Structure 1
């Protein structure tokens, strides 16, 4: 394991995470304006629209998981990509909603050819955990009140969520020590955000 991945970073982002945030800021803000995500954040999304949103999430996360499984090994940097897969949570939620997973068109996302590129993809999937609990609470009028059923994806890893993000950020700073590595990481994150947006659509 690379040395920096063993310790949690400070709350202040390092140069690699700042580069990621700056490169994806506009795309991230545009995602917040997605119609279904707006309805979800306001607590007024319907059950069918929520299920459709989860299908879009599943399409994206399955694509990223597939590409990472064929990319470079992140184990030396303290990242277990299998343990971080989120598609099982989405499948559980769709099952709870009584929704069969439809056939999904392919997602336009290349296999990462380097560790920085792989971490750029993970920046998007790991970042999607942040704020999930707030969105989960917004589903009280849509799903069974007080139950986790149908919202495991949004609830994430529970008490380990902050630790998992900290470990990821430490790996990002370990790998992103050079300007070239940070640029490669940021470019991959932008590609992942564009793919994410395409998977959700605008309906």
Structure 2
């Protein structure tokens, strides 16, 4: 039997997104863990600043009418308020909101894919916060599972994105948006944990 090659468009959009951004995703994961954000509460407080910057920059996308028409219920999914409360739980005041991400709807899907996907992977991070005496009611609200459950919520979100009718340029824009989101997050982690990451790198070389 002759194998028939499968067109990229015959796989689901989110599977293509995952394949196209796996390097960026893995790089961010490794960078975050290299920063040791769960070593103590002070360090975790700095991690919350990274989270605040990311979720704050996306708040406009969660409120966008066009995106809410594409993804019903999107406006209720923003974790910005939870991050701000987590910061207050640690005795700090949330910083000013960062500039909002301004992209076209297709690119916005890529940013939202990263944001909502991070909640799926947050189960691992949430366990670390418990070692600091934090949980879904104190300091780690934004890392807690969605009321539907992490897997079920992600499945529903993926289904909604996969069900959208997009043209070829929009397909490329979704991927570009996701890559930009990972890069923006990576940049903020590097900025907030610069000294620690430099020390870690030098130690590993030594």
- Under a length normalisation based on structure 1, what TM-score does the superposition of the two structures give? 0.77
For residue 113 of structure 1, what is the aligned residue in structure 2?
Answer: 104
Residue 82 in structure 1 maps to residue 71 in structure 2: no
Aligned residues: 183
Displacement of 1:72: 5.7
For residue 6 of structure 1, what is the aligned residue in structure 2?
Answer: none
For residue 60 of structure 1, what is the aligned residue in structure 2?
Answer: 54
- Determine if contact 1:94/1:150 at 8 Å carries over to the other structure: yes
Residue 18 in structure 1 maps to residue 15 in structure 2: yes
Paired with 1:147 and 1:129, the residues of 2 have a C-alpha distance of: 13
Aligned match for 1:143, one of 133, 139, 156:
133
- Determine if contact 2:126/2:144 at 8 Å carries over to the other structure: yes
Residue 185 in structure 1 maps to residue 174 in structure 2: yes
Q: Which has the higher helix share?
A: 2
Residue 174 in structure 1 maps to residue 149 in structure 2: no
Displacement of 1:30: 0.8
CA RMSD after TM alignment? 2.6
Paired with 2:56 and 2:145, the residues of 1 have a C-alpha distance of: 16
- Under a length normalisation based on structure 2, what TM-score does the superposition of the two structures give? 0.76
- Determine if contact 2:68/2:75 at 8 Å carries over to the other structure: no
- Determine if contact 1:47/1:142 at 8 Å carries over to the other structure: yes
**Residue by residue, what CA displacement relative to the aligned partner does 1:21-50 show, whole Å, maximum 9, x if unpaired?**
12211111111112556625xxx5211110
Paired with 1:37 and 1:14, the residues of 2 have a C-alpha distance of: 34
Larger Rg: 2
**Residue by residue, what CA displacement relative to the aligned partner does 1:79-125 show, whole Å, maximum 9, x if unpaired?**
32320101111111111111112346547x4x2223x2221110010
Paired with 2:97 and 2:121, the residues of 1 have a C-alpha distance of: 27
Displacement of 1:177: 5.3
- Determine if contact 2:57/2:98 at 8 Å carries over to the other structure: no
For structure 2, the residue ranges without an aligned partner over 5 or more in a row are: 1-9, 194-206
Displacement of 1:58: 0.7
Paired with 1:198 and 1:66, the residues of 2 have a C-alpha distance of: 20
Displacement of 1:178: 4.4
Q: Secondary structure at the match of 2:159?
A: helix
**Residue by residue, what CA displacement relative to the aligned partner does 1:119-148 show, whole Å, maximum 9, x if unpaired?**
11100100110132232122233225x774
Paired with 2:119 and 2:19, the residues of 1 have a C-alpha distance of: 19
